[in-house]
Each structure stands twice: as structure tokens, then as C-alpha cells.
Amino acid sequence: MTILVTGGLGYIGSHTVVELLNSGFDVVIVDDLSNSEKFILNNIEEVAGKKPVFYPFDLRRKELLNQVFDAHKIDGCINFAAYKAVGESQEKPLDYYENNLFSLINILQEFKRRNISNFIFSSSCTVYGQADEMPITEDTPLKTPESSYGKTKQMGEEILKDFATAYQKRVSLLRYFNPIGAHPSAKLGELPIGIPNNLVPFVTQTAAGLRKELSIWGNDYPTPDGTAVRDYIYVVDLAKAHVAALKKLIASEDETVIDVFNLGTGTGSSVLEVVQAYEKANNVSVPYKICDRRQGDITIAYANADRAEQQLGWKADTTLEEALRTTWKWQKYLESRKY
């Protein structure tokens, strides 16, 4: 079976491509390299022992997408291609709506025209906003996200629900909590562009001496140590969940399926706990200072991932420290490449 993976050279995409290849799927990647690098393609081949087909273009180019569907018999899609910087989305909302939603709709048009089912969408726990109760289940009420990025995720989910219902398709909406870590081979990981916004990449660059100190955004939250709490999920565990979700769709006897899964560990960790775990896992020091809260941040978010365990037979079982160890190995690899 051949799976189209958009954004397949990106952070979560590249790890998922490896897991798909390991599970016997053929993979066709479309990635415009706007937030990824070509060498990741070679690294995927080194890790998986197989090379996916690769097309470098922007999914808004309908005619090129059409040619890919003509050239390959596509049986399903995992759609990672999207802009993802929360702050940037506030400055460039139209770019976010256009890129994230037009590209999604273009693929769905091909699916409709060619009668293809099995679509997996990268959603985010951002659709819950600050939930009133922890842990967050899939039935926790959604709130309108503050950022345009978050809104593209919520709108994407709505588009897919309508798509599945109107055209009898199988879709799976995967709500990621906070993905971290790198491939154990240290050949795949998150590529930093500019100053990292996310916690673990910033901690990594601080430990490596590229940044003077980490700013911890607030220690006056109503949490045990005052810093904000998130559910950090190891990227390889997350990648495996995609394969499990895809297999479930393929095996389903129902024509119309709308699956929704929280993908997290079920455990919350505070910013300070992450810093301490990083130092311990890698025997490094991470200097930090406490600053004011970051605008738009929520206090606490962690998943109840029971549904994924029950229905997919999947569970995130890598510990925070193990995941953080792979991040450091990946940093050393990037340094060796003078990235």
C-alpha cells in the first residue's frame, strides 16, 4: 500500500515515514522544504533501509499534486504539511489560513475525485485551550484557540468531519500534546530555525552553549512548583501512533469513520521538571532565569490517552529522561555536521 505523507521531511513527518517503511508501506513524500532539509531524505533511507519517493513542491500547486496522484496509486494520506509557529501565525494569519487549509482541501479534492479513503490529520491539543479539568479526554469541550495557528487546526478538523460524512470517507484526527526528542539513531530530529520558541529545543541550545540562559515564562502559575505543566510525548512513540491509526482506518469495515485520539503520555511535567530531567539525563547544566508569563500560554495540559490505548493498542512508554537523551544526541549530530 502506498501512503502520501505531506511534510514528510519535517520533524514528526520524518519519524513517521520511517515507521511506515518499517511496517511495509510504500511512501510518497511531498514537502516544499520550507521548514525541512533535503539531507533528511538520505537519513530516512539510512535509518529505514528504503528510500521513499520525494516531490519538492508546495501543496497549493494543484496541478503538481494532480500529477503525483496520476503517477502513484495512493491508498491513504498522513498530512503533516503546515505552518506551525504560534507567534508568527498572529502576525501572518492569512498565510496560515491559506497554507494550512488550501493545501488540505487540495488533497481532499483528489481523494474525492479518485475515490480514496484513509486520511490522517495532525491536530493539536491547542483545540482544547485551557481545559477546565485534567486530564483532557477527547470529549473535553473544545475552546476557540487564541492563535490563528490553533484555529487552522480546529478548522481542519471540521473540514475533515464534513468530508468524511458527505463522501463516506475514513479520517483520523490526532491531537498531539507536546512532541519532543529525536530518533535513537540521531539521524532525525527537530531542526532549529532561528531562536527556538519551544521549550526543549531552547533548553538544548542553552545546554550546548548557543544560548546564554533559558527564560522560564512564569513561576506564579497554580501548579506544584509554579511553572506551567505540559504532557511531553516522545516523537517516535507519536510516529508509531500514526501507523496504528492508519492501520485501524484501513482495517475498518465501515465506509465512514471519524476517529479522534489524544496522543500524549498521560503525565504532566512542569518546566522546572523538564529542565532538571534534561540536566540529569545528559549530565549538562541549563542556566535559567524566571521571567514574566508568556502571553497566550495556558497553565496546564495533559492527556488522558486511554482511547488510543484501547482502540489502537498504542501507548507512549518512553520516559521523559530517555526522550531528552535522544535530543542531546541529535544536537551532537547537528554539531558534527556544522548545522
Q: Which residues are catalytic?
A: 149
Own/partner long-range contacts of 137-144 (Cβ < 8 Å, ≥24 apart): 137/262, 137/304, 137/306, 137/307, 138/175, 138/260, 138/261, 138/262, 138/307
Whichever of 116 and 228 has its CB closer to ligand UFG, that residue is 228
Q: Does 191 bind ligand UFG (CB under 6 A)?
A: no
Residue nearest to ligand UFG (CB): 228
Applying CB under 6 A, the span of 43-51, 121-129, 239-247, 314-322 interacting with ligand UFG comes to 121-129
What is the C-alpha to C-alpha distance for residues 52 and 5, in angstroms, rounded to an integer?
10
- In the numeric block, the cell 506551525 is attached to 84
134, 302 contact by CB (below 8 A): yes
**For residue 91, how many other CB atoms are within 10 A of its CB?**
10
Using the minimum distance from each CB to ligand UFG, give the nearer residue, 191 or 214.
214
- 163: Cα separation from own chain's centroid: 22
Give least dist CB 279 to ligand UFG, A: 15
Considering the complex, state which of residue 6 and residue 154 has its C-beta at the smaller distance from ligand UFG.
Answer: 154
126 lies in the site for ligand UFG, by CB under 6 A: yes
d(CA 166, CA 226): 47
Assigned C-alpha cell, 25: 508501506
Distance of CA 208 to the CA centre of its chain: 24
Smallest distance from ligand UFG to CB 126, Å: 3
The string over 235-272, giving b where at least 16 C-beta atoms fall within 10 Å of a residue's C-beta and e elsewhere, is bbbbbbbbbbbbebbeeeeeeebbbbbbbbbbbbbbbb
Q: How many residues bind ligand UFG (CB under 6 A)?
A: 20
The CB-of-42 to ligand UFG minimum distance in angstroms stands at 27
Instruction: Report if residue 217 touches ligand UFG, rule: CB under 6 A.
Output: yes
- From the CB of 178, what's the least distance to ligand UFG, in Å? 5
Whole-angstrom distance, CA of residue 291 vs CA of residue 293: 7
Residues 66-95 that bind ligand UFG (CB under 6 A): 84, 86
Let me know: does 231 contact 264? Beta carbons within 8 Å. yes
Binding mask 31-70 for ligand UFG (x = CB under 6 A): ----------------------------------------
Question: Which span (40-48, 72-80, 212-220, 316-324) binds ligand UFG, by CB under 6 A?
Answer: 212-220
Query: Should residue 202 be labelled a site residue for ligand UFG when binding is judged by CB under 6 A?
Result: yes
Q: Do residues 321 and 280 make contact, with C-beta atoms less than 8 angstroms apart? A: yes
CA distance 181 to 318: 10
With contacts defined by CB under 6 A, name the span among 47-55, 198-206, 279-287, 306-314 that binds ligand UFG: 198-206
- 207 binds ligand UFG, rule: CB under 6 A: no
Site for ligand UFG in 286-315 (CB under 6 A): 294, 297
* 51 vs 41: CA distance, rounded Å: 8
Pattern 159-178, ligand UFG, x by CB under 6 A: -------------------x
Binding interface with ligand UFG (CB under 6 A): 84, 86, 124-126, 150, 178, 197-199, 202, 214-217, 228, 230, 271, 294, 297
